[in-house]
Amino acid sequence: MDHFVVSARKYRPVTFDSVVGQSHITTTLKNAIRTNHLAQAFLFCGPRGVGKTTCARILAKTINCQNLGDDVEACGECESCVSFQNNASFNIHELDAASNNSVEDIRNLIDQVRYPPQTGKYKIYIIDEVHMLSQAAFNAFLKTLEEPPSYAIFILATTEKHKILPTILSRCQIFDFNRIQSKDIAHHLADIAQKEGINAEHEALELIGQKADGGLRDALSMFDLNVTFSTNNHLTYAAVLENLHILDYDYYFKITDALTAGSIARSLVLFDEILRKGFDGHLFVIGLLEHFRNLLVCKDPATVTLLQVSESAERKYLEQSLMADLSFLLSALSITGQCDINYKSAKNQRLHVELCLMKLANLPQVLQLHSLAAVDETAKKKVEPQQSLNSSAAPSPAAPQPAASANTQSNGSAYANVPAQPAAASQQVTPQQAAPSRLKSTVSLTQSLTPPAQQPAKQSNVEASVEYAAAPNGAKREELTLANLQRFWYEFSQKRLQAGNSTTEQITLNREIQLNGTVIEIALDNDHQQDAVMNMRYELLGFLKLRLDAPKLDINPRVAPQEVNRLPYTPAEKFNFLAEKNPYLLELKQALGLDVDF
């Protein structure tokens, strides 16, 4: 029986061109070799299993090759190449810093650096997981790294770049390795499957690619595992799903179908089935979020590329995204996001998810009611001819969002203008008008559905961004007049007061202001107050510029000590004060020989 070699080793790339998904690095390295501009120290950073050590070995082999081809790839036949291939070359030294991180280990390595190579041109030192070296080891190594002999090349590899000392970083040429795209991984696995005579379904390989999350080595071990489990060297999607314990994305499609149809019962039964298969409820919620996100991404041709799924799955997503309304998806993301955030703290986690599903299943009905109300309102006002119920985004004049259209044009309207709402398009509802009211309805809806206690604390990003797009602040800027300025100035001071600002700041904000062109003049008593103004200057001007049509608005605080009418305080002052009012008092004092009592 043949000795089994794992695929990750058996199919380890031996030339630059066969490295998967890191062409930006291999091209640079080849160019450096061609032009003889090779650095003496490299730092290879990136997640595990993406080809750092492999690239280091290929580099070592290539620069020592005795008859390097024009394509800057090692020949694989010369003495040096053969010894590299047999792991017998004396010109390459590998140190795994994860297990050998003491000063002694580094000293041993430095000792070897002193001897030039017996054969070949370069000696290559690869230090893996270099961030694990102890502080003392780092220091011992630094000297050698600073002045290496001309034949020595150091390749440091790490998964955690931020842990590397700046002194090391500054002496290395840094290469950042990418996570490998799941499509590239699947393609590579297909190659190997063909060479091994394994009949693999393409979907199965893509599933492995996704599960590996960018790491080729992980993908290859999963591949090996699945091949071991398989019968007759046949790799099916279903078997891989089972072996890797992945929840079939088909479930998410089924559940979304149930939800958009408003069927609480069907969605709960499906969820029960998932739990009975041994899947975690939280993982299901996260998967559902991802599913909604994918559907949302499908709503616009420009964002479909963000979909990281297999081709057959992509078709399914595109189909389902046509059935799901944009308002539904945004609200669903918000509700499911809340469920995800609160999952850990829920006492009855199953019920928590079920409640979320019930809310989701109820959504279509609520949305329809909402659009009915909007249509009704429009009909009453008779501004526009009656819209059909399907064009739920009737442009209600009650939604005053003219200026927000600048924002929504880039995010909102792009989605509104998809084939999912052919009715809206054919009736010449301009997307700019339609989108904001649609977004607005979504927001108020999610607010009514979410328990009020949770709302202010944690809002999902989607919800927050929707609110921003529909914020009335962006509506229309007012003319710069003193009255308007004072109004918004007061608004700002109230805002700061609520935020609990300092007394000095509040006194400053209560001062009288003047308007001189586009400059706000404010007279202050002392430097502290001036500092206070300067500290909140940007926030203040930003706040005002959002509301006033004055892009050049500025503020000029100046300290002008007032002529203070001091009240008499000491006995002498009191006497003088009184004497000023009544000069006879002085005479009285002199006549009686009196003095002021201090």
**55 versus 259: smaller Cβ distance to Zn ion:** 55
**518-529 burial string, b = 16+ CB within 10 Å, else e?**
eebebbbeeeeb
Choose among 269, 280, 201, 258: nearest CA to 235. 201
DSSP string covering 107-125: HHHHHHHTSPPSSSS-EEE
**117 versus 474: smaller Cβ distance to Zn ion:** 117
| Smallest distance from Zn ion to CB 192, Å | 25
Residues pairing with 44 in the sheet? 157, 175
| Smallest distance from Zn ion to CB 211, Å | 37
Element (H, E) at 83: helix 79-85
C-alpha dist (Å) from residue 103 to 261, 403, 458 = 67, 65, 49
| Smallest distance from Zn ion to CB 89, Å | 11
**82 versus 596: smaller Cβ distance to Zn ion:** 82
**61 versus 359: smaller Cβ distance to Zn ion:** 61
**58 versus 212: smaller Cβ distance to Zn ion:** 58
- Dihedral Cα 32, 38, 39, 43, nearest 10 deg: 60
Cα separation, 423 vs 514, in Å, equals 54
End-to-end CA, the chain: 116
Choose among 478, 491, 485: nearest CA to 522. 485
**17 versus 525: smaller Cβ distance to Zn ion:** 17
- Dihedral Cα 405, 407, 408, 412, nearest 10 deg: 180
Query: Can you tell me which residue has the tokens 């009736």?
Result: 427
| Smallest distance from Zn ion to CB 74, Å | 5
| Smallest distance from Zn ion to CB 155, Å | 19
Choose among 429, 399, 390: nearest CA to 413. 429
Q: Would you give the distance in Å from CA 511 to the centre of its chain?
A: 43
Token pair belonging to 37: 């501009």
| Smallest distance from Zn ion to CB 119, Å | 12
Q: Which residues bind Zn ion (CB under 5 A)?
A: 65, 74-75, 78, 81
| Smallest distance from Zn ion to CB 67, Å | 6
| Smallest distance from Zn ion to CB 81, Å | 3
**84 versus 575: smaller Cβ distance to Zn ion:** 84
**85 versus 236: smaller Cβ distance to Zn ion:** 85
Count of beta carbons in the 10 Å neighbourhood of residue 390: 14
